[in-house]
Amino acid sequence: MDIVVEHVRKTFGSGDKSEVLALDDVSHRFGSQKITCLLGPSGCGKSTLIQIIGGIEDATSGRIRIEDPARSGGTTKLGAESVMMWQGLNLFPWRSVIDNVAFGPQMHGVGKAQRYARATELLASVGLRGFEQHMPAQLSGGMRQRVALARALIMERPIMLMDEPFGALDAQTKIVMQEELLRIFDRTKKTILFVTHAIEEAILLGDEVLVMTARPGRIKEIIKVDLPRPRGLDILGSPEFAALFDRAFHLIRDEVTRAMREQEEAVRA
């Protein structure tokens, strides 16, 4: 599925002095079967943009279309073809691991045997065979993240919207989850939008990196990541990776510096 964003603008507030312009004139075509990473300083509207794409928030103006390249002229309702994965996992603490994963299909009327069979298969695929009856509180942070990933995958939507899903993990667990996501992407070829603050993560995962400006969020530059797939962590030491990192770092540093300067000026005023 292609995601076509045209001149999207988003404001919060009621038109008075408290009004905040979060996104301003954002346009981009997110290509099918690619990982696009959204990179930018805090508060630049990255999360807001994918929530609009997922039908959770409404744009103030502009348009978003979800198009199937294999079907000419067809569009779908926002949210119908996507699933969201958050940094806050939102697992139900009173439900077992397998019940958490099977919850989405249950809400869509899938029979018990079918949804449990699929949940068991997915838990095995993310390395959680044998933990089906555990409760979330009995799992480590990385294991809970794998449950959340399985819960997203079971919906079998062509689009995954991922809002800093690995941001709260320790460094070692984050590496494992990045490798897991790359493995799943190579197998399923979903369209993935991945919000991150980490330059290294954006380049490792993405086919392209959208660098956004400080608020109001605009697309400052699109960095094409022409690194071969399948990818592993060995690519981090390559000259090509280093060049991409350097370019993204300087773009982000400029935006963070500008945001800090504007905040200081606002405090003095």
77 and 15 part of one domain: yes
- Tens digits of residue pLDDT in 24-47: 999 999 999 999 999 998 888 999
Asked whether residue 101 falls in the same domain as residue 200, the answer is: no
CB 7 within 8 A of CB 62: yes
Judged on CB neighbours under 10 Å (0-12, 13-18, 19+), 62 is middle
Output the pLDDT for position 16. Answer: 67
In a domain, 123, yes or no: yes
Q: How many folded domains does the chain comprise?
A: 2
Domain that holds residue 58: 2-81+159-225
Q: Is the pLDDT of residue 86 over 90?
A: no
- Same domain membership, residue 120 and residue 136: yes
Upper half-sphere CA count for residue 157 (Cβ side, 13 Å) = 25
Residues 98 and 28 placed together within one structural domain of the fold: no
In this structure, what are the phi and psi dihedrals at residue 133, rounded to the nearest 5 degrees? Answer: -95, 0
State the pLDDT at residue 74.
Answer: 63
Cut 0.75: pTM above it: yes
Domain C-terminal end among 134, 156, 178? 156
For residue 89, pLDDT over 90 is answered with no
Q: Name residue, tokens 């979800």.
A: 66
Q: Are residues 102 and 71 in the same domain?
A: no
- Shared domain for 145 and 46, answered yes or no, is no
Q: Indicate if 34 and 98 belong to the same structural domain.
A: no
